Structure 1
Amino acid sequence: MPDLDKRAELLRAVVGYLEDNGVSDLSLAPMAEALGTSKRMLLYYFGDRGALLSQALEAARPDAGQIFDGVTTDEQFVEAARTLWFAVSRGDQRRSATMMLQVLSLATTDPDTYGRYARTTVAVLLKPITEALVAVGYPRADAAARATLVVSGLRGLCQDRLVTSQRARVDAAAELVIAAAVAPGR
């Protein structure tokens, strides 16, 4: 019977390794060595390479649910979206967001390996943001489009910030995306 505490500790270490080393050239032997374990133990706790990758990516997915919980006004939505932007651009979810960007890019050329995770990541981010916008008063279809603007806009800006390191320009653009999400036009 697997030790669940050991498995959880190992999963956190795997996520950290992937955040530091990327996901595109994942090889279990070097990962195991870096983590002070064996390839056999990784396979024991997580199954094959694909299952390990899937579980690690799921554990590292940025979380928007808590941030948008209880939002019922445009002002609260703007504040929640700013909190999300801070979290993914330089806060506690920055490393997860960076790994998510890698996976979303890889999904375009290797959809068999990364496509399901990429689609799920987008859906998991869209759902709480859409629900918050519905609670604010937007019709569901409009809320979904506005949520897409926030998710895709901030994701693109996150990548821009990582590539260019131009924080002020990108932060200003994030404010424009957030404002556009609650702009009149209901």
Structure 2
Amino acid sequence: MTEPSDRRADLLDRVVTYLQTHGIADMSLSPLAAELGTSKRMLLYYFGSRDALLSEAIRASRPDIADLFRGVDDAAGLQEAALALWQAITRGRQQRPIRILFQVLSLAPTQPERYAEVAAEAVTGMVEPLVEVFERLGVPQDEARARAGLLISGLRGLCLDRLVTGDEDRAEDAARVLIAGATTLPPAAAQR
């Protein structure tokens, strides 16, 4: 017998797949439920509301920055983890899920009542774990926050450019320059 938590996790996984294909702008629970072979009532039972479901799907689909940067203890490891993030969002397992994040971020300015909070959470959820990594490497808090924001927002923007233009070479070159600059530790931190 399937446990409720297993059923919920399976539904969430399938919701993420659905959103990758159909988008979020016009997401309605009834067509989503029909596509997933369940009912709107069951989606509400497991997730509470459309917005709560969407928030969880976005959280489940974004890269796990804490995991990607776990164990980083020097500038070389930081650069390697940043390159792994770039690979994940452009060619790896995050290539399709990152599109959900792009949709949410593009909807937040025009529909803030529905998407601003979840968009802000998605950005913060990727930046904050990286701030901690920079601080652990000896970068002062304000600079750590700036570098984490630069790295995450810069790579996300380059990934979007790559998707829109198809110019993979330019995006790849720009990502490498961005990563090199953002992961070069200041002298005081590098001496640690």
TM-score class, shorter: over 0.9
Q: In percent, how many aligned pairs have the same letter?
A: 48
Which residue in 2 is equivalent to 1:89?
90
Name the stretch that deviates more: 49-58 or 5-14: 49-58
Which residue in 2 is equivalent to 1:178?
179
Q: How far does the alpha carbon of each residue in 1:102-134 deviate from its partner, in whole angstroms, 9 at most, with x for none?
A: 101111111111111111111111122112222
Distance 2:39 2:85 in 1: 37
Q: Establish whether residue 32 from structure 1 lines up as the match of residue 25 from structure 2.
A: no
Which residue in 2 is equivalent to 1:117?
118
Distance 1:5 1:18 in 2: 20
Which residue in 2 is equivalent to 1:66?
67
- Shift in CA distance, 133/41, structure 1 to aligned 2, threshold 3 Å: same
Distance 2:132 2:8 in 1: 34
SS at match of 1:179: helix
Which residue in 2 is equivalent to 1:23?
24
Which residue in 2 is equivalent to 1:143?
144
For residue 172 of structure 1, report the CA deviation from its aligned partner. Answer: 0.5
Contact 1:103 1:114 in 2 (8 A): yes
Which blocks of at least 5 consecutive residues in structure 2 are unaligned? 188-192
Q: Spell out structure 1 runs of 4+ moving beyond 3 A.
A: 183-186
Name the stretch that deviates more: 96-105 or 37-46: 37-46
Distance 1:63 1:117 in 2: 16
CA RMSD of aligned residues (A): 1.6
SS at match of 1:41: helix
Contact 1:69 1:128 in 2 (8 A): no
Distance 1:8 1:27 in 2: 20
For residue 14 of structure 1, report the CA deviation from its aligned partner. Answer: 0.9
Which residue in 2 is equivalent to 1:3?
4
Contact 1:133 1:147 in 2 (8 A): yes
Q: How far does the alpha carbon of each residue in 1:150-182 deviate from its partner, in whole angstroms, 9 at most, with x for none?
A: 011001001001111111110110001101113
Q: TM-score scaled to structure 2, two decimals?
A: 0.90
Which residue in 1 is equivalent to 2:105?
104
- The count of aligned residue pairs is 185
AA paired with 1:162?
L
Superposition pairs of residues 158-173 of structure 1, within 5 angstroms: 158-173=159-174
